[in-house]
């Protein structure tokens, strides 16, 4: 018998590796099926647990809880593996384009040349924004965070494009519209924040080149496309395109499980991504580096503060819930970061701090023992800064990249016959029943 619990009334869990786990509570045995994934991961199926035993499970942060079966992305945090639809992330970063990767994630297979061309034509057709939507931007305060703007604008898309084209045999047009317009909306948010007129997309540019063009072109200094930056952005977005059941993707599935429209589910995902422990980490990395510089912290002082449990300071861009070894995306991101940095002429003191911090963190026993390695956000923040992307746009960059993954997961969830509305349970720890107290009898 393999004891998972040996206290209280739950006496043990025995796993028959081929078929079921036996849970023993108060001497009574319950058989729970064991589900096996295509890469050999195992899960105890507890769907009948409460009905059979009256017990629920508790797992804050869902670190041990699978919420679905999924055929989209495979991650192995111990071995540092990431694959989309079976294809290693390293191969996609080297050979694919972001648009092709989006097709792969959503449609489940690589496109033919004809399918890819058709996809690009639609992305071009959908790249303009309804003029009435453009006027929304004028009413956000000038300091509004572009993530808040993007989330609101995606939600607003539902009013402008209410029809959902579920008849498309390949690459749903609502999805294509979202992928194309999210890029335009993000670039406009930046332009408005600068007090500049939005720049229209160009039909002759790739998805990535077009974004750079809409961000940086202006009437007095026309943007000259840098092919290395285009490639770096392409890889950045491929690396961010999906990451199985992370916080924002789980949000998209949870919100989508109420059968809400896809725009609302994606808007919720954007909000979830915003946080500094998730997509906001790329922005938080730069803030941390600025703090180290402005407070004149030495690298050993910064490392010591990050290790101190009584100090909220953490090494942003280090650590990951799943990866307990080097994040495979970080390895590739670092190469792209080096490529961009090698082209940057001006010196940036923050980048020097970042390099020292990375080396010191990797060499420190605390980080080694806890399996805390630089994650994709550590290098992403540095690379985006070097490319001239303003810090408050970093998480928007992540959102554009993650959109195909959210759409693929939303689609899978919506068509999965096993899925139900997401509705976790809880263990109540509040007052037992008590009477209402009239106002004149209450004490502070
Ligand atoms: N700096 C210092 N200590 C850390 C760090 C860090 N960046 N990350 C984790 N730890 C410590 C933590 O204090 C805890 O120590 P102890 O065991 O003594 O209590 C231990 O390592 C485990 O950490 P945890 O917070 O319980 O781990 P988690 O899986 O809940 O959190 C994380 C994962 C990513 C939120 C966390 O590592 C973190 O806050 N990292 C910094 C933020 C960051 O870079 N986030 C981006 C993640 S990658 C992008 C994405 O996919 O979203």
Asked if the model's pLDDT at residue 1 lies above 50, the reply is: no
Number of separate domains in the chain: 2
Asked if the model's pLDDT at residue 7 lies above 60, the reply is: no
Residue-wise burial string across 103-139, b where 16 or more C-beta atoms lie within 10 A, e elsewhere = bbbbbeeebeeebbebbbebbbebbebeeebbebbee
444 is a domain residue: no
Range of the domain at 25: 2-57
Give residue 338's pLDDT. 86
- Do the Cβ atoms of 221 and 329 come closer than 8 Å? no
| 108 and 40 assigned to the same domain | no
**Token pair belonging to 253:** 């599935």
At 298-354, the pLDDT tens digits run 999 999 999 999 999 999 999 998 898 889 999 999 899 888 988 866 567 887 898
CA-proximal residue: ligand 1, atom 51 (nearest): 278
| 104 and 190 assigned to the same domain | yes
- Give the E-state strand segments of 69-226 in sequence order: 73-76, 81-84, 87-88
Give residue 37's pLDDT. 93
442 is a domain residue: no
| 36 and 97 assigned to the same domain | no
CA-proximal residue: ligand 1, atom 29 (nearest): 321
| 81 and 9 assigned to the same domain | no
CA-proximal residue: ligand 1, atom 14 (nearest): 370
Give residue 4's pLDDT. 41
**Mean pLDDT, residues 27-43:** 94
**Token pair belonging to 230:** 């285009």
330 is a domain residue: yes
At 161-214, the pLDDT tens digits run 887 766 666 778 999 999 999 999 999 989 988 888 899 999 999 999 999 999
Which band of pLDDT confidence, cut at 50, 70 and 90, is reported for residue 2?
Answer: very low
Percent of the chain whose predicted confidence (pLDDT) is above 70: 94
Would you say the C-alpha torsion 336, 233, 230, 104 has a positive or negative sign? positive
Percent of the chain whose predicted confidence (pLDDT) is above 90: 76
The mean pLDDT of the chain is 91
At 99-132, the pLDDT tens digits run 999 999 999 999 999 999 999 999 999 999 998 9
Q: Is 371 exposed, middle or buried (0-12, 13-18, 19+ CB in 10 A)?
A: middle
426 is a domain residue: no
At 253-304, the pLDDT tens digits run 999 999 999 999 999 999 999 998 988 888 889 999 999 999 999 999 999 9
| 219 and 326 assigned to the same domain | yes
CA–centroid distance, 14 to ligand 1, in Å, is 32
Q: Looking at 243, 320, 327, 364, which residue is catalytic?
A: 320
**Token pair belonging to 200:** 């229209």
Give residue 10's pLDDT. 54
| 366 and 404 assigned to the same domain | yes
236 is a domain residue: yes
163: Cα separation from own chain's centroid: 27
Task: Name the domain boundary from 12, 30, 57.
Answer: 57
Alpha-carbon distance of 249 to 348, in angstroms, equals: 34
Question: End-to-end alpha-carbon separation of the chain, Å?
Answer: 54
Q: Strands of 81-84's sheet, edge to edge? A: 73-76, 81-84, 87-88
Give residue 80's pLDDT. 93
Q: Which of 248, 319, 360, 372 to mutate to test the pocket of ligand 1 (most atoms within 8 A of CB)?
A: 319
| 46 and 93 assigned to the same domain | no
Of 348, 334, 339, 319, the residue nearest 380 (C-alpha): 334
CA–centroid distance, 318 to ligand 1, in Å, is 7
| 10 and 73 assigned to the same domain | no
382 is a domain residue: yes
| 31 and 103 assigned to the same domain | no
391 is a domain residue: yes
CATH code of the domain covering residue 215: 1.10.580.10
Indicate if 320 belongs to the active site. Answer: yes
Alpha-carbon distance of 84 to 104, in angstroms, equals: 8
Of 16 and 70, the one with more pLDDT: 70
Residues 6 or more apart in contact with residue 64 via CB below 8 angstroms: none
CATH code of the domain covering residue 44: 2.20.28
| 37 and 163 assigned to the same domain | no
CB count, 10 Å around CB of 205?
17
Residues with CB under 6 A from ligand 1: 243, 246, 277-279, 281, 306, 314-321, 370, 372, 375-377
The tokens 């009574």 sit on which residue? 28
CA angle 124, 271, 188 (to 5 degrees): 40
| 76 and 22 assigned to the same domain | no
347 is a domain residue: yes
Give residue 398's pLDDT. 96
| 125 and 265 assigned to the same domain | yes
Which band of pLDDT confidence, cut at 50, 70 and 90, is reported for residue 382?
Answer: confident
């Amino acid at each position: 018998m393999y004891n998972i619990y040996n206290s209280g009334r739950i006496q043990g869990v025995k796993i028959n590796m081929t078929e079921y786990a036996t849970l023993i509570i108060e001497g009574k045995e319950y058989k729970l099926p064991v589900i096996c994934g295509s890469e050999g991961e195992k899960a105890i199926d507890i769907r009948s647990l409460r009905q059979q035993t009256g017990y629920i499970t508790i797992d804050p942060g869902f670190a041990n809880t699978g919420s679905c079966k999924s055929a989209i992305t495979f991650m192995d945090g111990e071995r540092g593996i990431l694959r989309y639809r079976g294809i290693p992330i390293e191969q996609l970063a080297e050979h694919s384009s972001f648009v092709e990767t989006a097709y792969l994630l959503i449609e489940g297979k690589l496109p033919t040349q004809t399918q890819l061309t058709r996809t690009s034509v639609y992305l071009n057709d959908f790249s303009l924004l309804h003029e009435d939507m453009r006027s929304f931007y004028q009413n956000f305060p000038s300091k509004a965070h572009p993530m808040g703007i993007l989330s609101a604008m995606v939600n607003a898309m539902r009013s402008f494009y209410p029809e959902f084209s579920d008849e498309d045999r390949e690459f749903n047009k609502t999805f294509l519209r979202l992928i194309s317009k999210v890029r335009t909306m993000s670039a406009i948010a930046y332009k408005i924040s600068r007090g500049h007129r939005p720049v229209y997309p160009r039909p002759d540019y790739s998805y990535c080149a077009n974004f750079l063009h809409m961000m940086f072109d202006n009437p007095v200094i026309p943007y000259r496309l840098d092919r290395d930056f285009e490639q770096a952005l392409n890889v950045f977005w491929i690396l961010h395109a999906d990451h199985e059941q992370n916080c924002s993707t789980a949000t998209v599935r949870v919100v989508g499980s109420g059968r809400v429209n896809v725009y609302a589910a994606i808007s919720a995902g954007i909000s979830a991504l915003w946080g500094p422990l998730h997509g906001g980490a790329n922005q938080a990395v730069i803030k941390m580096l600025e703090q180290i510089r402005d407070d004149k912290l030495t690298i050993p002082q910064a490392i010591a503060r990050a290790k101190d449990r009584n100090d909220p300071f953490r090494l942003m861009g280090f650590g990951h819930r799943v990866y307990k070894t080097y994040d495979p995306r970080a390895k590739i991101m670092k190469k792209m970061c080096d490529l961009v940095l090698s082209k940057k002429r001006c010196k940036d003191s923050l980048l020097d701090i970042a390099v020292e911090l990375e080396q010191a963190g990797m060499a420190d026993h605390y980080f080694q023992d806890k399996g805390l390695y630089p994650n994709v956000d550590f290098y992403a923040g540095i690379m985006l800064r070097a490319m001239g992307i303003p810090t408050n746009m970093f998480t928007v960059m992540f959102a554009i990249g993650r959109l195909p993954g959210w759409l693929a997961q939303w689609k899978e969830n919506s068509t999965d016959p096993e899925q139900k509305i997401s509705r976790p349970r809880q263990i109540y720890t509040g007052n037992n029943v008590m009477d209402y107290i009239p106002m004149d009898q209450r004490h502070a």
